[in-house]
Structure 1
Amino acid sequence: RIINAPLAYCTYLYQTLWPARLAVFYPHPGMIPGTRVGDYLWPAAGATVLLATITVLCVAAARRRPYLLVGWLWYLVTLLPVIGIMQVGEQSHADRFTYLPMIGVYVMAAWGLHDAISHRPALRGPAVVGSALVLVVLAASSWRQIGTWQNSRRLLEQAIAVTDRNYFAHQTLGNALLDSGDFEPAQRHLEEALRIKPDSAYALEQLGALLEQRGDRRAAADSYEKALRLGWKSFYARLHLAAIRRDEGNLDAAIALWTAELQDEPDNAQLRVDLGTALVQQRRYAEAIIHLRRLVELAPNAPEAHNALGVALAKHGQLNEAAVQFEQTLALSPGQPDATRNLHWVRAQGQDQDLGR
């Protein structure tokens, strides 16, 4: 982070003076496995020397041209919170961080130009023409850059084209392509993101989603598991991995995943029904009833919730309570086949018990 800070200061100046090869995301080299710190030591040292030289020159000129020191300190100080010493996010720098700090550089340029031409009237004409040309060039550059924001695909393809090892752009483009159903290019970009950054849990999750949609559920499960082992807190990955494990017959693994996710989302109705149903399959009726009662509290108007609770109660021998749940199901969804059949069965069981007495 310390090495990146002077590089970022100088990069912002360079990209302001020459706004080319701009991107929505610039990857931080320190976030990419295999990056060698030594490759950045000399550039960072050079950038530090340059920043120190400019600072010394501004201090030396402070009496005659105070605007230089004011503008330069404005730039250095206002950029400091987002320069990356306290890293927030995975970017090495970001264009949006320069909006306020660059006011200082513009003060230096504007007052410096005024100072130069005020003592040399002959320069006023060339200065006006030069300023006009600069504005035309910047307007053309802005028009061209705005075009890259036409849609996500174009924006991310631009980022990939002008930056190196941009795993973020690859994985985000892969996700966008996945959403649009372009599976093959989506898979290529997600795999490239993982080649650059194998510990990208987001790319692993998206690759899992893609493989699952293409029918390769075993490979999808492997991808989800890798993402979760990296500490990825994802409802989607856990829920889909649990569904795959359930369909494979591995209920223990599915229940463990649902239980873990329930710690983060205790009021998620889908989790409660999946977990409760699985526990019923394992004949752990008392545990299932706890989750399915909570499900009914979360979704009191859902007939499926009442029916699921009724099934668990019936299997646990609580026939009267089960009948109440099946009746509630039929009140919400008259003629529902499962609830109708279950209610008849419960009533028949109750009559048999009465006869037995």
Structure 2
Amino acid sequence: MSIYILTLVLFALGLMSKPMLVTLPVTLLILDWWPLNRVKTSNDWKQLIVEKLPMFAMSAASAVITIIAQQKGGAVKTFEQFPLYARVENAVNAYASYIGKMILPKGLVVFYPHPGLSLSLKQIVPAIVVLLVLTTISVIFRKNKPGLLAGWLWYVITLVPVIGLFQVGGQAMADRYTYVPLIGIFIMIAYGIPGILKSLKPPMSYAPAILAIILILPLAALASYRQASVWHDSETLFRHAIRFTKSNYTAENNLGVILIERGKIDEAIQHFKTALAVKPDYVDAHVSLAVAFMNKDKLDLAMPHLETAIKLSPNDTDVLNNYGAALAMQGRLKEALGYFKAAVKADPENPDANENLKRAEQLLSEK
């Protein structure tokens, strides 16, 4: 009993640190089936499920809390923004793409923009074929090779919370989501290869191990080294994302912000314009482009973007703060003061908004 309680406590701590662990009760049931072989009859399933009911309850509570928090942060997307069929298409493509990137880790980027309705049959059909083939093989060999089905179920189920059916944010997928799910694919590989090798005699039975040592490990080490260099700084990170993805409005905007900090305002403006060409309602890019124009004292070009941002997101702290700053630059301090107050109300901890509010009040008091 003490071990059981400790397990529940550790699971609760895990959920608080990483809500993606909500699928753990199901993966534990998979492990009960194989390799623990705790399932003999249907009654065994009932007992095992009852055993994990506290975990299911904690998972449900964690899921509800996470959804509420994401909704308050504005990250949850509506079905108008991402229709159901677009989510399903992207989910199918993501399931297959994660496996592809595991085999050939090329083009890994910090942000993959959601394709919306732009996925073609050339992308969807191969993904469906891959998933159907792996599912079919796992089911057919479930009695003789149960580890294949156990690994496949692990992969599919643990990805469900982050596969995009419940869309949070604007990403299509994220490499960081796969560190737990890919354990399932590795189980399939580790369990499946030895079965294949049983029919081979030495030295052919040693071939996979020799191949891994001589070829795969050095290539993986080289790929890791090259991928680490991508994270040298923010500029290299977002330039890499732009290079390996299409219509990556987030990377374009973020790169532009970095370029402003480095004094490359003209280049930054081009990236902001590219971001808005892809996503005209992208509030961050409107604000960023306005800030770039403000840095060049082109308030006439900055104001339309700030006005658009205000319409799109009237309660956003950065939008309100920058709109107030633009008004202040025009000498309209009384109007600016109202926006600074609104910005502080929206986010009382925002240092820029608080500083601008304090300065505006000081300047008005001196008049």
Q: Could you tell me the TM-score, scaled by structure 2's length?
A: 0.68
Could you tell me which residue of structure 2 aligns to residue 89 of structure 1?
Answer: 169
In structure 1, distance between residues paired with 2:343 and 2:106: 45
Q: Is 1:98 matched with 2:160?
A: no
Residues 156 and 170 in structure 1, CA contact (< 8 A), matched pair in contact too: yes
Q: Aligned runs of 1:92-171 on 2, under 5 Å?
A: 92-122=172-202, 123-132=204-213, 133-171=215-253
Residues 262 and 271 in structure 1, CA contact (< 8 A), matched pair in contact too: no
- Residue 45 of structure 1 deviates from its aligned partner by 4.8
The amino acid that maps onto 2:191 is W
1:212 equivalent among 281, 284, 294: 294
Q: Is 1:80 matched with 2:160?
A: yes
The amino acid that maps onto 2:170 is E
In structure 2, distance between residues paired with 1:41 and 1:85: 19
Could you tell me which residue of structure 1 aligns to residue 107 of structure 2?
Answer: 21
Residues 113 and 249 in structure 2, CA contact (< 8 A), matched pair in contact too: yes
Kindly provide the CA deviation profile for residues 325-352 of structure 1, in whole angstroms up to 9, marking residues without a partner as x.
xxxxxxxxxxxxxxxxxxxxxxxxxxxx
2:140 equivalent among 60, 65, 88: 60
Residues 3 and 41 in structure 1, CA contact (< 8 A), matched pair in contact too: no
Which stretch shows the higher mean deviation, 243-252 or 119-128? 243-252
In structure 2, distance between residues paired with 1:120 and 1:102: 28
- Residue 262 of structure 1 deviates from its aligned partner by 4.8
Task: Structure 1 unaligned segments of length 5 or more: list them.
Answer: 31-35, 282-307, 313-357
In structure 2, distance between residues paired with 1:197 and 1:228: 16
Could you tell me which residue of structure 1 aligns to residue 281 of structure 2?
Answer: 199
Higher-RCO chain (CA-CA 8 Å, sequence separation at least 6): 2
Tell me the secondary structure at the aligned position of residue 106 of structure 2: coil
2:270 equivalent among 174, 181, 188: 188
Higher-Rg member (1/2): 1
In structure 1, distance between residues paired with 2:200 and 2:121: 43
- Residue 231 of structure 1 deviates from its aligned partner by 0.8
Q: Is 1:69 matched with 2:149?
A: yes
Tell me the secondary structure at the aligned position of residue 172 of structure 2: strand
Tell me the secondary structure at the aligned position of residue 2 of structure 1: helix
Q: CA RMSD in A?
A: 2.5
Residues 170 and 190 in structure 1, CA contact (< 8 A), matched pair in contact too: yes
CA separation of 1:10 and 1:177: change in aligned 2, threshold 3 A: same
Could you tell me which residue of structure 1 aligns to residue 92 of structure 2?
Answer: 6
In structure 2, distance between residues paired with 1:219 and 1:128: 63
What percent identity do the matched residue pairs reach? Answer: 32
Task: Structure 2 unaligned segments of length 5 or more: list them.
Answer: 1-86
- Residue 235 of structure 1 deviates from its aligned partner by 3.0
In structure 2, distance between residues paired with 1:4 and 1:197: 19
CA separation of 1:153 and 1:270: change in aligned 2, threshold 3 A: closer
Q: Could you tell me the TM-score, scaled by structure 1's length?
A: 0.70
- Residue 264 of structure 1 deviates from its aligned partner by 2.0
The amino acid that maps onto 1:124 is S
